């Protein structure tokens, strides 16, 4: 009974994350309202070299989404920052998701906004650190929750388009789960998560981000 209640709470929360207007508020907070970044994240940004400039612009993850991420992915913490990147003769803005270890605070991975760079191997292996899977519905919820994080930097609220999660599906044998990551009107990336089974136990495997047009892994 407790497990059913827990699953229902997760599903209800996911619905609220998808439609709740507060999701748009985080990106428009003034600097005074933004929480400070951990020292490890600041050091990581500083160490990215002269072609990346961080001027203190933090994209605040909405409370509902942040708390859900901390619950379901308790081994990690997620921060989103906006930086300037060099193209040699010009600069452009780009968002970066920085992942830290929940206990040590050390930066363990990062991911440029989708389409702005290749996916690091450390990010592809992020979910493999979590314990075995017991409830398939919760597993689907967790994959969609991660997808919500990945598309959040790409939201365009003034035009009410982009940065949203489309359909969520799995193959008949339950070996992969796939979420559509939508920009403007159609999927431009797919979040694909492998499910591995060993000794009768299922766990998260490697994840990949797929270009929806070419089918190639980024």
Instruction: Give, to the nearest 10 degrees, the angle between helix 63-72 and helix 136-151.
Output: 130
Per-residue pLDDT tens digits for 85-140: 988 888 888 999 999 999 999 999 999 988 778 999 999 999 999 988 888 899 99
How confident is the model at residue 21, as a pLDDT? 38
Task: Tell me phi and psi for residue 20, to 5 degrees.
Answer: -70, 130
Say whether pLDDT at 23 is over 50. no
How confident is the model at residue 22, as a pLDDT? 40
| Percent of the chain at pLDDT exceeding 70 | 80
The answer to whether the Cα torsion of 100, 123, 87, 162 is positive or negative is: negative
* Chain CA centroid to CA 217, Å: 17
Q: Which residues does 25 contact at the CB level (< 8 Å), separation at least 6?
A: 62
pLDDT band at residue 10, thresholds of 50, 70 and 90?
Answer: low
- State whether residue 70 is helix, strand or coil: helix
- Say if CB 13 and CB 62 are below 8 A apart: no
* Range name among 49-58, 82-91, 141-150 with the lowest pLDDT average: 82-91
Per-residue pLDDT tens digits for 71-88: 999 999 999 999 999 888
The domain segmentation of the chain, as residue ranges, is 2-211
**Mean pLDDT on 40-47:** 96
Mean pLDDT for the chain overall: 84
How confident is the model at residue 89, as a pLDDT? 85
- CA 87 – CA 102 distance, rounded (Å): 34
pLDDT band at residue 32, thresholds of 50, 70 and 90?
Answer: very low
- CA 135 – CA 144 distance, rounded (Å): 15
Q: How much is the pTM? A: 0.83
The answer to whether the Cα torsion of 204, 209, 213, 216 is positive or negative is: negative
Which residue has 């160490």 as its token pair?
47
Say whether pLDDT at 20 is over 50. no
- CA 78 – CA 66 distance, rounded (Å): 8
H helices of the chain, in order, are: 2-19, 39-46, 63-72, 121-124, 136-151
Task: List beta partners, residue 97.
Answer: 80, 111
The answer to whether the Cα torsion of 211, 168, 71, 198 is positive or negative is: negative
The first and second tokens of residue 153, run together, are 């930097």
HSE (side-chain half, CA atoms, 13 Å) at 116: 21
**Mean pLDDT on 194-207:** 90
């Amino acid at each position: 009974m407790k497990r059913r209640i827990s699953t229902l709470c997760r599903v209800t929360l996911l619905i609220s994350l998808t439609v709740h207007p507060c999701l748009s508020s985080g990106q428009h907070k003034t600097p005074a309202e933004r929480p400070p970044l951990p020292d490890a994240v600041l050091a990581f940004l500083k160490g990215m070299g002269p072609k990346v400039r961080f001027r203190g612009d933090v994209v605040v993850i909405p409370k509902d989404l942040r708390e859900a991420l901390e619950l379901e992915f308790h081994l990690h913490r997620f921060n989103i920052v906006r930086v300037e990147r060099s193209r040699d003769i010009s600069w452009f803005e780009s968002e970066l998701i920085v992942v830290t270890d929940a206990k040590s605070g050390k930066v363990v991975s990062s991911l440029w906004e989708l389409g702005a760079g290749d996916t690091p191997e450390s990010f592809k292996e992020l979910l493999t650190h979590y314990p075995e899977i017991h409830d398939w519905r919760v597993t689907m919820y967790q994959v969609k929750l991660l997808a919500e994080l990945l598309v959040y930097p790409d939201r365009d609220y003034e035009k009410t388009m982009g940065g949203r999660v489309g359909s969520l599906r799995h193959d008949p044998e339950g070996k992969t789960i796939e979420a559509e990551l939508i920009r403007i009107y159609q999927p431009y990336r797919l979040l694909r998560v492998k499910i591995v089974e060993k000794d009768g136990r299922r766990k998260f495997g490697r994840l990949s981000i797929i270009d929806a047009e070419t089918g190639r892994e980024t």
